[in-house]
């Protein structure tokens, strides 16, 4: 173990620096501290211990704190110990489990100790058996992405790094090390209770795996390392592809081009969805799993043009033709109605700009495309009104006999459902719909013969 520990410190550059060590007093963290003490001089390390009494077990856990303090005094190591009333903290934060509350309090304290001692590293005592349990638990729960790689040997934390030098060792080795070095660690009786998922994996699943292969922890650690490397490579590819299929990305919304998305290989599709979710969720809910990704892939690949999914914490995913919208915004009333002054410039609620001006002479160069509408000023019935659609709206399209429902135009043009309620409609003072800006013109557009004044309206992005 000592030699593997030495190789680990060399590999991660833990030399001539300060290191904080999280020590509970149990065999794992005590062995970790003892190994650091043995190599302290060789690697030029300044050591400090961080210990948290979570106050779950009253006098028993308080005695463990005194044990850690005494051990540190006897080995000339600085010790930062604190008591935190985690049960009270969990009561004040009912959305958190006791274990989550304990972890949040513990890591917050670790961060403060690192800053106090200007330490770029905090070492924790997770070992190979912990790795097996973590990977199996996450697989069972339906985790996705790098979470399936389990516990990393090193990860960024508080401006520095968390390191876990004991992941190559299993519990048996650690207990043997404690025995050989007369360390007399303390044991937390809660680790024996089957109330916790991890304990059930430890007591019921792990022994079977150990029977099949006594060094199974080494295989899981190899899987963790290689899976993480593969996943990081695929994540980079996914980020590149996401830039090509994402139409829009804002703080609480994202919009995906479904046709382009469906051209991606399935592994990249899954990771692109995960990247979008990582971006939208500030704190990703634990209930979010691979099932949500699979259901979205199914929705996007289905031939039906529309559909929706409800994700945790109010995230709604809406498919409409070639567009998929991810939004936390509730679908609310987006209607508006405004008089258009002549001339004027109006910013519309959908973010586009509508300009209106008078020009003299023949306006032929203006009339191409659906982003411009032209009428002789003398034939215009005022006032002009820009508004959102109303039930039963119809328009007499240019070059067509009769009228067509605005609703059917939206459907034919495959306008996403979530955009239809904010799409502008221009009507004149008699109530005739003249123009669906950017989409269709009515037969009332008239460039005339060039004489007189013309009203020219333009619709464009800001």
Q: What percentage of the chain carries pLDDT values higher than 90? A: 67
329 falls in which pLDDT band (50, 70, 90)?
A: low
CA distance 204 to 404: 68
Would you list the domain boundaries of the chain? 2-226, 250-327, 337-461
> Looking at residue 364, what is its pLDDT?
64
- Find out whether 125 is annotated in a ligand binding site: no
- Asked if the model's pLDDT at residue 299 lies above 60, the reply is yes
- Find out whether 168 is annotated in a ligand binding site: no
Chosen CATH of 250-327 out of 3.30.465.60, 2.40.340.10, 3.20.20.70, 3.40.50.2300? 3.30.465.60
Q: What is the mean pLDDT of residues 98-106?
A: 91
146 falls in which pLDDT band (50, 70, 90)?
A: confident
Q: Which residue has the higher pLDDT, 6 or 187?
A: 6
Q: Which residue has the higher pLDDT, 461 or 286?
A: 461
420 falls in which pLDDT band (50, 70, 90)?
A: confident
- Asked if the model's pLDDT at residue 331 lies above 60, the reply is no
Its pTM stands at 0.68
- Find out whether 76 is annotated in a ligand binding site: no
Per-residue pLDDT tens for 51-60?
A: 999 998 889 9
- Asked if the model's pLDDT at residue 188 lies above 70, the reply is yes
Q: Is 282 exposed, middle or buried (0-12, 13-18, 19+ CB in 10 A)?
A: exposed
- Find out whether 165 is annotated in a ligand binding site: no
Architecture of the structural domain at 337-461: 3-Layer(bba) Sandwich (3.50)
- Find out whether 26 is annotated in a ligand binding site: yes
Per-residue pLDDT tens for 27-47?
A: 999 999 999 999 999 999 999
Please name which of 69, 109, 104 lies closest in space to residue 86, comparing C-alpha atoms: 104
Q: Are 56 and 29 in contact (CB under 8 A)?
A: no
- Asked if the model's pLDDT at residue 133 lies above 80, the reply is yes
CA 369, chain centre distance (Å): 40
- Asked if the model's pLDDT at residue 66 lies above 80, the reply is yes
Distances (CA, A) of 237 to 229, 244, 259, 430, 434: 13, 11, 19, 56, 47
> Looking at residue 28, what is its pLDDT?
96
- Find out whether 230 is annotated in a ligand binding site: no
Domain 2-226 matching CATH 3.40.50.620: the answer reads yes
Report which listed range, 110-114, 146-150, 390-394, is most confident: 110-114
């Amino acid at each position: 173990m000592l030699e593997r520990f030495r190789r680990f410190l060399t590999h991660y550059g833990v030399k001539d620096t300060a290191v904080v060590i999280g020590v509970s007093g149990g065999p794992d963290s005590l062995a970790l501290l003892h190994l650091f003490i043995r190599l302290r001089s060789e690697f030029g390390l300044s050591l400090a211990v961080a210990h948290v009494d979570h106050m779950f077990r009253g006098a028993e856990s308080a005695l463990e704190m005194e044990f850690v303090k005494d051990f540190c005094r006897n080995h000339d190591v600085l010790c930062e110990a604190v008591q935190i009333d985690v049960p009270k903290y969990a009561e004040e934060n009912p959305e958190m489990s006791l274990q989550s509350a304990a972890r949040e309090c513990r890591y917050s304290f670790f961060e403060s100790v690192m800053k106090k001692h200007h330490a770029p590293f905090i070492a924790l005592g997770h070992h190979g058996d912990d790795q097996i349990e973590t990977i199996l638990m996450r697989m069972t729960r339906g985790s996705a992405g790098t979470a399936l790689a389990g516990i990393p040997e090193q990860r960024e934390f508080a401006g520095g790094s968390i390191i876990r030098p004991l992941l190559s060792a299993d519990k048996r080795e650690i207990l043997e090390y404690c025995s050989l070095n007369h360390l007399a660690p303390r044991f937390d009786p809660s680790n024996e209770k089957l109330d916790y998922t991890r304990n059930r994996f430890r007591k019921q699943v792990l022994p079977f795996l150990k029977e099949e292969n006594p060094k199974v922890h080494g295989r899981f650690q190899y899987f963790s390392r290689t899976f993480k490397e593969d996943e990081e490579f695929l994540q980079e590819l996914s980020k590149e592809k996401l830039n090509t299929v994402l139409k829009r990305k804002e703080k609480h919304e994202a919009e995906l081009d479904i046709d382009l998305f469906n051209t991606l290989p399935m592994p990249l599709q899954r990771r692109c969805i995960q990247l979008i979710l990582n971006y939208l969720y500030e704190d990703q809910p634990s209930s979010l799993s691979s099932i949500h990704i699979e259901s979205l892939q199914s929705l996007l690949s289905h031939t039906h043009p529309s559909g929706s999914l409800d994700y945790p914490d109010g995230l709604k995913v809406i498919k409409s033709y070639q567009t998929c919208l991810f939004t936390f915004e509730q679908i609310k009333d987006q209607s508006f109605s405004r008089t258009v002054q002549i001339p004027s410039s109006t910013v519309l609620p959908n973010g586009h700009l509508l300009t209106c001006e008078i020009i003299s002479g023949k306006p032929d160069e203006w009339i191409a495309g659906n982003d411009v509408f032209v009428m002789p000023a003398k034939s215009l019935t005022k006032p002009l009104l820009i508004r959102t659609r109303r039930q039963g709206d119809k328009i007499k399209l240019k070059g067509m006999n009769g009228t067509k429902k605005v609703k059917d135009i939206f459907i034919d043009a495959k306008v996403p459902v979530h955009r239809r309620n904010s799409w502008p409609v221009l009507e004149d003072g008699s109530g005739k719909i003249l123009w669906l800006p950017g989409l269709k013109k009515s037969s009332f557009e008239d460039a005339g013969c060039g004489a007189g004044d013309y009203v020219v309206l333009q619709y464009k992005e800001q």
